[in-house]
Amino acid sequence: MRLSGSQGSAIFFYLIAIILLWCVSLVKISLASDKKTPFPVFELPIPQNDAEKNYLGISGSGKFKIRQIKSPVIIIEVFSTDCRHCQNAAPKVNELYLAIQARPDLKEKIKIIGIVNNGTNEVDLFRARYKVSFPLFPDQDSAISQQLGIKKTPTFIGVKNNDDGTTEKFYFKSGKFWFWNVNRFLKKIIKLSKLE
């Protein structure tokens, strides 16, 4: 079947319109992941380890909120110990932690924590196996993950503690570990959090 010139043109413009709409939707999805929004309030157990308490700038026992971490920016990795992508990500997240700690201008301004969809034993085994130096918190029933809207692991969330006492989410990426360039990722976090 042959198409007339006007039919061919109509189909061509229709395809162009579909492609443009698809591109616009991708841009919206990309921008939405870095949109600043209020951060949910939840509590985590205060670590028993003094080094982890010092790192977070908290003391005592009981529970604490993200707002109480003595840092303007917190990177939260939500993951599961049996997730292959999370296991593959562990060395890069450790590299990110060390890169931040090596910079005197950042080490008090950006902290990393992990929220793990497993029990304490699995978390301890993961910490030992992958030599994780930043604090990890079990979320065995995934209650916190659900509150954060986690659908895939690992998920990385950038949170900012504002001077007015509010906490906002400025970054959210889920799924297969995608940042292989730690310095590029760190620059993005600095830029989006306005630490620069």
Q: What is the pLDDT of residues 133-168, one digit of tens each?
A: 999 999 999 999 999 999 999 999 999 999 998 999
Which helix (H) or strand (E) segment holds residue 190: the answer is: helix 182-193
- Shared domain check, 115 and 160: yes
- Domain check: are 19 and 88 in the same one? no
Pairing of β 63-65 and β 43-45: antiparallel
pLDDT digits (tens, 9 = 90+) for 55-102: 999 999 999 999 999 999 999 999 999 999 999 999 999 999 999 999
Query: Does 73 share its domain with 97?
Result: yes
E strand or H helix at 99, and its extent? Answer: helix 84-101
Domain shared by 174 and 122, yes or no: yes
- pLDDT tens track for 4-43: 666 656 665 555 655 545 444 444 433 345 567 889 999 9
Within 10 angstroms of residue 7's Cβ, the number of other Cβ atoms is 11
Per DSSP bridges, beta strands 63-65 and 167-174 are unpaired
Mark whether 95 and 3 lie in a shared domain: no
Provide the number of structural domains found in the chain: 2
Question: For residue 90, what is the domain's CATH number?
Answer: 3.40.30.10
What is the pTM for the complete model shown? 0.81
Are residues 5 and 94 located together in one domain of the fold?
Answer: no
Angle in degrees, CA 134, 136, 137, rounded to 5: 150
The range of the structural domain enclosing residue 26 comes to 1-32
